[in-house]
Amino acid sequence: MADPIVELTNITYKNDAGGTVFKNLNLTLPVGRSAIITGSAGSGKTTLADLLVGRRFADSGTVKLFGKEMRKRKKRLIRQVRQKIGGVGGRFDLLPLLTVADNITLPLIITCARSKLRKERLRRALTEFSLLNQAALYPRFLTRVENMMVQLARATVANQPLIIIDEPLAGLDVKTYQRVLDYFIKVALSGRSMILLTAEPPQVTIPETDSFEIANGALL
């Protein structure tokens, strides 16, 4: 049986001020399954995302992604794990000095993908997210929704097996909200895993997805 894509075991984490953020937090996400994690502001959703991408490290417990344990000293492993994660929202901004097209293909540039593949994937992503007219623009010229679409395109362009999405639905208009949800359903059905970190749970059911709530430093 394949290793779970995410496995958090007995995670304890205190913030810089000494306050407990997580206490015996556990989460197991098998390959192909997704999770919606809800929590109020300050409950630790972004901190959880930071733990998953190796930006912070647990005080105790283990964080395993793709079967590999994330440790502070394992820089190379962290880099490899990050290349398999697509990030949207929260910490995952666009690079302001790169165009939309360059931002989208960045994960492919980093992994040295071939030129033909990059062009093909870029075209597909631009079409899928209706960004063909924005390809040559810089992020400062994009609307908030377009910005998010570019992040979604970047998060999937390299077929990243795990996508972490931090607060994706806040402030969206109805049409965009529905479009983003449709996209989430599509990702969930594609066999990739998703972790949605949000204050408000989506109003529709996303297949292959479990729902959790962060409360008192643990997942319920």
Partner 1 sequence: MTRFIYIIRELLRNLYRNPGTALGSLLSMTLLLLLLDLFWIAAGTSEKFYEGLVADLTMEIYLSESLSDTDLIDLSHEIEQLAIVNTVRYISKEEARRLLASQIGTDLLIGYDSLNPLPQSFLLTFKPGRLSLTELIAVEEQLLTMTGVDETEYSREWLEKVERTKGIILKVGLGLGLIIMLAALISLTNGIRVMTRARAVGFRQMLLQGASRSFVALPFLIEGFLMGGLSATFSWLVILYGSEKITFSRISIVYPTRYDIIDFCIVCAVLGLISGYLGIRKLLKV
Binding site for partner 1 (CB under 8 A): 53, 55, 75, 79-85, 87, 91-98, 102, 105-107, 109-112, 115, 118, 154
Q: What SS3 class is residue 69?
A: strand
Closest distance of CB 76 from partner 1, Å: 8
Phi and psi at residue 15, to the nearest 5°:
-80, 180
214 with 48: CB under 8 angstroms? yes
For residue 63, CA distances in Å to 11, 45, 71, 75 come to 8, 15, 8, 15
Closest distance of CB 95 from partner 1, Å: 4
Phi and psi at residue 8, to the nearest 5°:
-105, 125
81 with 70: CB under 8 angstroms? yes
Closest distance of CB 25 from partner 1, Å: 22
Listed in sequence order, the DSSP H helices in 114-195 are 115-128, 144-157, 174-189
Closest distance of CB 203 from partner 1, Å: 30
Please tell me what DSSP assigns to residue 166: E
Would you say 4 or 54 has its CB closer to partner 1?
54
Would you say 159 or 178 has its CB closer to partner 1?
159
Counting Cβ atoms within 10 Å, is residue 23 exposed (0-12), middle (13-18) or buried (19+)? Answer: middle
Closest distance of CB 134 from partner 1, Å: 17
Would you say 38 or 154 has its CB closer to partner 1?
154
